[in-house]
A and B are shown apart, each in its own frame.
Chain A
Amino acid sequence: MPAVQETIERVRKIDVDQYKYGFETKIEMDKAPKGLSEDIIRFISAKKNEPDWMLEWRLGAYRRWLTLDEPTWARVDYPKIDFQDIHYYAAPKSTPGPTSLDEVDPELLKTYAKLGIPLKEQEILAGVQKPANDDGLDEANDNGAAPRRVAVDAVFDSVSVVTTFKEELAKAGVIFCSISEAIREHPELVKKYLGTVVPTTDNFYATLNSAVFTDGSFVFVPKGVRCPMELSTYFRINEKNTGQFERTLIIAEEGAYVSYLEGCTAPQRDENQLHAAVVELIALDDAEIKYSTVQNWYPGDAQGKGGIYNFVTKRGDCRGDRSKISWTQVETGSAITWKYPSCILRGDDSQGEFYSIAVSNGYQQVDSGTKMIHLGKNTRSRIISKGIAAGFSQNTYRGQVSAHRKATNARNFTNCDSLLIGDQCGAHTVPYMEAKNATAKFEHEATTSKISEDQKFYVMQRGVPEEEAIALIVNGFVKEVIQELPMEFAVEAQKLIGISLEGSVG
């Protein structure tokens, strides 16, 4: 069954030529010369006032990187990247560590205002209705929670411009700052955890990132603390011919909880730009980390010119018993996406989740999915992936679920659906399942015939036409992904996913 009109319209609205964030900020930049060498790495490290051990760490990664070959196994196709033709460092000139918003370049503030990112410590985010809060009878907050607030770390090209709500977070014991600051202020924590989930030797792009990463966020939630607000980082690539290499490290100690959101955009340009990030999550005993992404890098124009190459390594380590890591992603941007947020379920009874919606349009190429590596006992994982391909795009789900010999009672449920709109695009599913344990229980399904006749009949006999009935049921199913998103992102994502999935194929 082909896609219905409504779905097609919704996807068109987010087509590549509708990109809203393509403007450029005119601001004076401080840049490293083009190219990559040990000197450039020393330059970056010096710019960041890093300690020697960090520089050595970077140089070690760089030497390793020189011995590696670019991976070619993904189903993406692009001209060879000239790694010497990129600026590895670019920062707005006028921000030598501003202490308050007043010191931040107004151009930058304007940029973030345009993007709808609240740098002022305001309580309510754009897109979310202020709850009707007259006389304390607040339905939205009937659980007694404070109004939702979000702390933001804004990263502009290579540097973090500002981090909000820092003081309030500090009161709760939560450290939320840029990774450069963490390296200077909390070296013992960085040393202890950096590179323990994604080692410098992990893969070509992660190794490159380890050598040249410039900024990113650092979150540390101490034992027993439930982070009092959502944390968020907003990544913006602005400068021409630069690569953005951010590094994020999130640690939740025993019993801690944190929800973290990430958003990203870039100006419209004819050249491709490289973004190679590494995100490491560490959850100790009973801790929970929820990581959500709305990825909206510039996808290139309707002819496939320009756009971001998004080569990202994201991995969470459920190191402690009963820990939980959950990845939720809505992917609509980038010319090429190569991204597999994964969970290593090391602790006994730990849980991993991956919820993904990937929409590709124009000439976009998406090769994304997850890995769930079951090592501990009684570990559980769940994968829900929805891919929607339109235009001339290629959309691939690539995932791996494996149960180690000692991972008794490992459980996995995987469901990945894709939808094709038009006959010039492609949808692909490449799941790898590896069971080395008799008590492992894996289920993988990729089908749409899951809507039972009974369900459909139930809705239709109440006077709903068949197509709407199907849409209703399917939307209820997509909800599984949407409801995993924090409210602030759900608003944005909902625009993308009113999309019904009739006519889906595995």
Chain B
Amino acid sequence: MNIHAVPQLTPAETALVDAFGERLSLLPGDGAVMVKRDDAIEQVKTGLPTKRVESWHYTDLRRLLTSVPAFDETAKAEAVAPVLEGSAVFSVLNGRSSEKTAKVEGVTVTRVADKLTDGSFAPALEPRGSDDAVGALNTAFVADGYFLDIAEGVELSQPIELQNVQAGGQTHVRLPVRVGNGAKAVIVERQTGTGDAFVSSVANVTVGDGAELTWLIVQEQPDAAATHLGQFNAWIGKDAKLVVFVMNAGGKLVRQEINVAAKGEGSTFTLRGINLLAGDTHTDVTMVLDHAVPHTESTEVIRNVVTGKARGVFQGRINVHQYAQKTDAKMACNTLLLSDDGEFSTKPELEIFADDVQCGHGATVTEIDRNHLFYLMARGIEEKTARGLLVKAFVAEVIEELEDEAIVDALEGRLDKWFAEHG
């Protein structure tokens, strides 16, 4: 897509290309890994995607990414308390995994740095296409992360939290997970930190036949300066269940991609997302869902609250392949636009090649319902409180659908924290 000859690199692009030259000798892996890195940086050199690239229509990365911080080896990041109590925590602090990690029965944990060094990770290093800027940047620079292999039939009794904490500078991590057939797990992907960080994080996840995985992405980078480029790619097996929850509550420039392929018959995919947007920030959630086989189901609900000068984007595309008969797919994107300086753009696409399917999407953008507000105010609740209640209820509804009490409580806690900080 972005194959136009780019006459001149932007300062941010130049910084990335220069950083690659400087970091090259420090990056783990040689041979096959190096070839992949070289190819990826060549892709970056053709220019970051602009709005002319359809998948980046509302996030002109080339224009929005004005500067990139240098790698900062001296920064100190501390592990944070997990979102879910009692989680086994695996932290990547300033781009480095720890040698001493928690032990979880039935789960084999490998450091990605080791897999890069021995070259076994090379096949997984591949951008998804010419418009995959997140994948390309991550492939070029990835240095560490954790690979979790959850054995067949294992039902984890405690949640796992994969933490990526960054105190300024750059970091590029991978968090690959394999969930064996019939296994069950709850995993939190935590993205947080301080300062003007530049973070890319790619999680490639396979969900085995009959397995159940709940994956919660909690992104709370600082509003002021952090750039967060996240990518979650999943392949769902036969009769398997995947629930993905995304919460974006921070970051100056955020792009979270979710690419899911329903590969096995009888599989179900659920996406729930809330974007809490404030300040002068830009947040983009882009989902591509492939229904590749018959008899699969999916539902996606995204709720957005836009305040201040924030700009929000949701792009969702559901592809139903020709043989994917009996697909049932529904997608909704609802936005509360609370500020005249804010904006929200959405593009819910359907691409359908099978005739016996049920697919639908709905999208709304609106302000707070006056009747609802009146109802509360008529009962003596002052306007500000009433508004707060309604806005919170609007997003909390999505969280409550997750059912698991511990998860709901923990996420509502994050929600309260955001509302406390942003009024």
Question: In the complex, how many angstroms separate the beta carbon of B297 from the nearest chain A beta carbon?
Answer: 14
Q: Which residue of A lies closest to B335 (CB)?
A: A435
For A443, the closest partner residue in chain B by CB is B364
Chain A residue contacts of B383, Cβ below 8 A: none
Complex contact A431–B367 (CB within 8 A): no
In the complex, residue of chain A having the shortest beta-carbon distance to the beta carbon of B348: A431
| Chain B residues with CB below 8 A from A426, complex form | 351-353
Q: Return A9 CB to nearest CB of chain B, in Å.
A: 16
| A506 and B339 in contact, given A445-B360, A447-B360 (Cβ under 8 angstroms) | no
Tell me which of A1, A421, A427, A434 contacts B352 (CB under 8 A): A427
Contact of B360 among A420, A437, A441, A506 (CB under 8 A): A506
A431–B357 alpha-carbon span in the complex (Å): 20
Q: Which of A244-285 contact B (CB under 8 A)?
A: none
The yes or no answer to A422 lying at the interface (CB within 8 A) is yes
Expressed in whole angstroms, the minimum distance between the Cβ of A439 and any Cβ of chain B is: 6
Question: Is the CB–CB distance between B349 and A428 below 8 Å?
Answer: yes
Q: Are A439 and B367 in contact (CB under 8 A)?
A: yes
Asked whether, in the complex, the Cβ of A446 is within 8 Å of the Cβ of B352, the reply is no
Q: Let me know if B366 and A442 touch, CB within 8 A.
A: yes
A446 close to B361 (CB less than 8 A): yes
- Interface: A53 (CB within 8 A): no
Q: Is the CB of B363 within 8 A of A431?
A: yes
When C-beta atoms are compared, the residue in chain B nearest to A440 turns out to be B365
B358–A438 touching, CB < 8 Å: no
Residue A432 is within 8 A (CB to CB) of chain B in the complex: yes
Number of A-B residue pairs having CB atoms within 8 Å of each other in the complex:
124
The answer to whether residues A433 and B355 also contact, given A442-B366, A444-B364 and a CB cut-off of 8 A, is: no
Chain B residue numbers with a CB within 8 Å of A423 are 322-323, 325, 353-355
CB distance from B7 to the nearest CB of A (A): 17
Give Cα A421–Cα B320 distance, bound, in whole angstroms. 15
**How distant is A60 from chain B, measured CB to nearest CB, in Å?**
26
What's the Cα separation between A418 and B354 when bound, in Å? 12
| B350 engages A428 (CB within 8 Å) | yes
User: How far, in angstroms, from A446 to B227 measured CA to CA in the complex?
Assistant: 34
How far is the CB of A154 from the nearest CB of chain B, in Å? 40
* Complex alpha-carbon distance, A428 and B318, angstroms: 10
User: Is the beta-carbon distance between B367 and A441 smaller than 8 angstroms?
Assistant: yes
CA distance A262 to B193 in the complex (A): 61
Residue of A nearest to B58 (CB): A434
Interface string of A2-34 (1 = CB under 8 A from B): 110000000000000000000000000000000
A371 to chain B, nearest CB (A): 14
Q: How far is the CB of B283 from chain A (nearest CB, A)?
A: 15
Nearest CB on A from B58, distance (A): 8
Decide: A437 near B345, CB < 8 A? Known: A420-B352, A427-B352, A505-B360. no
Inside 8 A of A432's CB, which chain B residues have their CB?
Answer: 57, 345-347
* Cβ distance B353 to chain A, nearest Cβ, rounded Å: 5
**A2 & B365 in contact (Cβ 8 Å cutoff):** no
The tally of residues in B whose CB lies under 8 Å from a CB in A reads: 39
Given the known interface contacts A430-B349, A433-B345, A444-B348, the answer about A1 and B361 at a Cβ–Cβ threshold of 8 Å is no
Is there an interface contact between B365 and A435, defined as CB atoms closer than 8 Å? Answer: yes
Cβ-closest chain A residue relative to B311: A436
Cβ of B402: which chain A residues have Cβ within 8 Å of it?
Answer: none
Report chain A residues within 8 Å CB of B32.
Answer: none
List of B residues within 8 angstroms of A505 by Cβ: 320, 350, 352, 357-360
Of the candidates B365, B366, B367, the one having the most CB atoms from chain A within 10 angstroms of its own CB is: B365
Contacts of A405 in B (CB 8 A): 340
Nearest CB to that of B320 among chain A residues?
A505
Are A448 and B358 closer than 8 Å at their CB atoms?
yes
The docked-state distance in angstroms from the alpha carbon of A422 to that of B356 is 9
In this assembly, does B60 line the interface, its C-beta being within 8 Å of a C-beta of chain A?
Answer: no
On whether the beta carbons of B360 and A503 are closer than 8 Å, the reply is no
Considering only CB atoms and an 8 Å cut-off, how many residues of chain A contact the other chain?
39
A417 (CB) vs chain B CBs: closest residue: B360
A438 to B347, CA, bound (A): 19
Q: Judging by beta carbons under 8 Å apart, are A435 and B350 in contact? A: no
Q: In the complex, what distance in Å separates the CA atom of A394 from the CA atom of B21?
A: 47
Is residue B38 contacting chain A, with contact meaning CB distance below 8 A? no
**Residues on A with beta carbons closer than 8 Å to the beta carbon of B356:** 1-2, 503
Q: What separation, in Å, do the CA atoms of A446 and B350 have in the docked complex?
A: 10
| CB atoms of B345 and A438 under 8 A apart | no
Chain B residue at minimum C-beta to C-beta distance from A421: B355
- Cβ of A449: which chain B residues have Cβ within 8 Å of it? 358, 360
Interface: A73 (CB within 8 A): yes
Q: Name which residue of chain B comes closest to A395, CB basis.
A: B352
The distance in angstroms between the C-alpha atoms of A423 and B366, with both chains bound, is 37
Q: Is A233 an interface residue (CB 8 A)?
A: no
The residues of A that contact B28 with a CB separation of less than 8 Å are: none
Chain B: minimal CB distance from A477 (Å): 15
A439 partner residues in chain B, CB cutoff 8 A: 340, 367
B366 and A431: CB pair below 8 A?
no
Contact A438 B354 (CB under 8 A): no
Interface residues of A in 467-506 (CB under 8 A from B): 503, 505-506
The minimal Cβ–Cβ distance linking A436 to chain B, given in whole angstroms, is 4
Q: Which residues of A contact B347 (CB under 8 A)?
A: 430-433
Question: Of the candidates B325, B343, B361, which one forms a contact with A429 in the assembled complex, judged by CB atoms under 8 Å apart?
Answer: B361
Residues of the A chain whose Cβ atoms lie less than 8 Å from the Cβ of B348: 429, 431, 444, 446
Residues of B close to A431: CB separation below 8 A: 347-349, 363
Q: A3, A434, A438, A446: which contacts B362 (Cβ < 8 A)?
A: A446
Chain A residues near B343 (CB-CB < 8 A): 434-436
Does A440 contact B337, Cβ atoms closer than 8 Å? yes
* B215 part of interface (Cβ distance < 8 Å): no
Chain A, Cβ-Cβ closest to B336: A438
Contact call A503/B342, Cβ cutoff below 8 A? no
Note all chain B residues with C-beta closer than 8 A to A435: 335, 337, 343-345, 365
Q: Say whether A428 contacts B337, CB under 8 Å.
A: no
Please, what's the 1-or-0 string for B310-332, where 1 marks a CB less than 8 Å from any CB in chain A?
A: 00000000001011010000100
A420 touching B354 by the CB < 8 A rule? yes
- Closest-by-CB residue of B relative to A73 is B54
Answer whether residue B19 sits at the interface, using C-beta atoms and an 8 A cutoff: no
Q: Mark B179-205, 1 if CB is under 8 A from A, else 0.
A: 000000000000000000000000000
Q: How far is the CB of B391 from chain A (nearest CB, A)?
A: 13
Is there an interface contact between B338 and A444, defined as CB atoms closer than 8 Å? Answer: no
A506 with B335, Cβ < 8 A, contacts A423-B322, A444-B364 known: no
Interface string of B47-78 (1 = CB under 8 A from A): 00000001001100000000000000000000
| B365 contacts across to A, CB distance below 8 A | 433, 435, 440-442
Is the pair A506, B361 in contact by a Cβ cutoff of 8 Å?
yes
Task: Answer whether A447 and B330 are a contact pair too, CB < 8 Å, given A423-B322, A433-B345.
Answer: yes
- Which of chain A's residues has its CB closest to B363's CB? A444
Assess A437 versus B337: contact at CB under 8 Å? Given A444-B363, A446-B361, A506-B350. yes
Tell me, rounded to whole Å, the shortest Cβ–Cβ distance linking A487 to chain B.
33
How many angstroms from the CA of A317 to the CA of B367 in the assembled complex? 27
Interface residues of B in 363-404 (CB under 8 A from A): 363-367
Chain B residues within 8 Å of A1, by CB: 356, 358
CB pair B363–A433 under 8 Å, yes or no, is: yes
**Complex Cα distance A375/B363, Å?**
21
A443 vs B330: C-alpha distance when bound (angstroms): 16
Minimum CB–CB distance for B311 against chain A, Å: 9
The answer to whether A428 touches B352, judged by C-beta atoms less than 8 angstroms apart, is yes
Neighbouring A residues of B342 by C-beta, 8 Å: 436, 438
Q: Which listed residue (B323, B340, B358) contacts A437, Cβ 8 A?
A: B340
Residues of B within 8 A of A425 (CB): 353, 355
**Cα of A130 to Cα of B345 in the assembled complex, Å:** 51
| Residue of B58, B349, B353, B355 contacting most chain A CB atoms (<10 Å) | B355
Give 10 A-B contacts (CB < 8 Å), ordered by A residue. A1-B356, A421-B355, A424-B322, A431-B348, A432-B345, A434-B345, A437-B337, A438-B338, A444-B363, A505-B320
Given contacts A427-B350, A429-B361, A435-B345, 9 further A-B contacts (CB under 8 A): A1-B356, A73-B54, A423-B354, A428-B350, A435-B343, A442-B366, A447-B362, A505-B320, A505-B357
Please provide the 7 A-B residue pairs with the shortest distance between their CB atoms, ordered closest to farther: A447-B360, A420-B355, A435-B365, A444-B363, A436-B343, A442-B365, A429-B350
